[in-house]
Chain A
Amino acid sequence: MSRAYRIRISESLRRHIKVDDGIQSKLEILAILPPEQTAALLERELEAAGFEKRDDGQWARVDEDGVEVRVDPQTATVTVSAQAESELDIERERVITAWAENDANTRERGREALEQELEGEADAHREDLQASVTEALEAKLGDLRRELDQLSNRVTATALKQKAASMGEIQEISEDPESGSLTIRVKI
């Protein structure tokens, strides 16, 4: 008659998990002035909006929620990104049954199953972290879109005024902040 043996297996998993998410888009700025003048106008608006110039020429701002917004004024490219990190430290113990003393195969199978379980937990943790980063970024997008649209409109409006001034004498300017429309009367 065979006899049952209890094998105690313990495994641990330590992992540094880092996830990020990000998108890239272009600001819709009409080409009214030469590119370098438009870039200068954009830089002025970015500074006013709390952006700081980096060594690589890009302007960046990190908001309270950890979302970083970078703008390249030369190409009018906006990059919005967020990231999160987490230290994972899991320990598990499992008791399995074997039918022979020192049953290495059963012990190995048990260890592999436990490892897989820990890997599954780590993956689930990574997915949760990724989802939270995406959620934060998504929540940010609504406000950011509005802010960037307004910023683009201001740059376009300033560019229009400068262009109009270079064409003749500006007699009247009327702006509707609600619709974003701008009417300039110029005497040439």
Chain B
Amino acid sequence: MNHGPARLARVARSEDELIKLARGLVTGARALPRARARAAIETIGPTAMALLEQTLARGLSAWLLRSGGWQTRRTWVAADGRAVRGRLWDRHRELPPLRFGPASFALLTWLHGEDLVRPTRALERQPDTTLADDLLHYLALGQLVRAGLDFGQPAFTRSPLSQLGYADALGEVLAGTGPDGEPERLPPVDFRPLTTGPGAIIMEALQPQLAERWLAMERRKGTIASLDQMLRIGRAQDQVLRLWFAAIDGAGQGQPRRRDLAGFVAEAARELLARGPERLCPDHRWWIRSLDARAPLSARQAAFTAAAAFLRGISRLGLWLDEAGVVAHFDEDYELAQLWLSSWQQLRARPDPDPAPDPPAAMPASILDRANFLTRSLESLHSLGVAEPPAPNSRELP
């Protein structure tokens, strides 16, 4: 018997670069090459391919657990037909296997061989893109956005997970005009695969990540000066939330509705609109404070309405809460309804009024009422006309 050390696998230098790129993406390290590789990779050997698959599968599994799977949550487990509380691996007997296909290979070779500032070759969306491929695209997009590199590629704009996490960036990058003369819209995608089976498990793990992303999108709006930019972002947000809500609400076909997968909206809303010793819910001017105030009123109003896209999304959760509240205990959906009520009850909570509010408490008490109030304010005639200065402490958000 040979008890000596195992032989190290040998790969070519370009293959090694590709594996390191993959490792960087899944570990969150700065992974993108600064310069285009000298030779584009078209194929790799079986040893490198096995190492690449292993790196991606282990790395992405670990990333999913680190980014949100470790959190104790209560979610609907379709296999058990009930709500279960625990960490991701407690709630599900088996975590979804991550299978990578040609789309991941195409993504990695594109990142490795292209000039990421001015790409010469488009990265197309592959028709056989798997869930794991899509997750890798989501991670790669995050790095491209943070590094300020080009990401206006069909592989990202048509990726469901990328749209859910980066609706703002993808909406902005579409600089064209549609046939109706309006700004080009994000291509509609099918979110249904993310609402059942392995897709839903991945979405459960991604909830904290997505909450952070949507919070960042809202915080960024106050820095935007261009009405057109705000319009594109708001329309993209509107579309993504509308299609996502429709997908989780209509899981249908014998599958339960997975409204709990909109939890990231509730979490971001809580961070943004709650008041307390360390937080201050902004007033409507916080969203539009940097916008160009010299443009025609029609353009301003369209941009203000677009700025309220996320706030409008929150009100959908309010409707669902209303519906859940009237589901009787003998109804089939009772346990699901109770899950939504218990998960989102904070949105309805009305904390004790501050005895000395500063600024005076014109803002409603609950998060849901605040979202509705702010939406109305942004869409109403009152937000137009001569610009009023923002409230003195409306910028003191975390």
Contact = CB atoms under 8 A, between A and B. Distances in A.
Interface stretch (B120-128, B209-217, B219-227, B295-303): B295-303
A21 B386 contact: no
B381 interface: yes
Contact of B386 (A23, A26, A130, A138): A138
Given A138-B385, A142-B386, A145-B385, A22 B297 contact: yes
Contacts of A21: 296-298
B384 interface: yes
A40 interface: no
Contacts, number: 42
Interface string B357-385: 00000000000000000001001111011
A142 B294 CA distance: 17
A3 to B, nearest CB: 48
A143 to B, nearest CB: 10
A23 B298 contact: yes
B301 A23 contact: yes
Contacts of A25: 379-381
A145 B382 contact: yes
Nearest to A134: B296
Contacts of B385: 138, 141-142, 145
Interface in A136-182: 137-138, 141-142, 144-145, 148
A134 B294 CA distance: 9
A144 B301 CA distance: 16
A138 B297 contact: yes
Contacts of B297: 21-23, 134, 137-138, 141
- Most B CB atoms within 10 A — which of A21, A131, A148? A21
A12 B298 CA distance: 33
A132 to B, nearest CB: 11
Interface residues of B, number: 14
Interface string A99-128: 000000000000000000000000000000
A78 interface: yes
A141 B296 contact: no
A22 B386 contact: no
Contacts of A134: 295-297
Contacts of A22: 297-298
- Most B CB atoms within 10 A — which of A25, A26, A28? A25
Contacts of B376: 28
A183 interface: no
A24 B301 contact: yes
Contact of A141 (B298, B379, B381): B381
B231 to A, nearest CB: 15
A150 to B, nearest CB: 13
A134 B295 CA distance: 8
A130 B379 CA distance: 22
A119 B121 CA distance: 37
Interface string A9-30: 0000000000001111110100
Contacts of B296: 21, 130, 133-134
B135 to A, nearest CB: 42
Interface string B134-158: 0000000000000000000000000
Contact of B384 (A23, A28, A130, A148): A23
Q: Which 9 A-B pairs have the closest CB atoms?
A: A141-B385, A21-B296, A25-B381, A23-B301, A134-B296, A23-B297, A145-B381, A21-B297, A21-B298
19 contacts: A21-B298, A22-B298, A23-B297, A23-B301, A24-B301, A25-B379, A25-B380, A26-B379, A26-B380, A28-B380, A134-B296, A134-B297, A138-B297, A138-B386, A141-B384, A142-B385, A144-B381, A145-B382, A148-B381
Given A25-B381, A134-B296, 11 more contacts: A21-B296, A21-B298, A23-B297, A23-B298, A78-B381, A131-B294, A134-B295, A141-B297, A141-B384, A145-B381, A145-B385
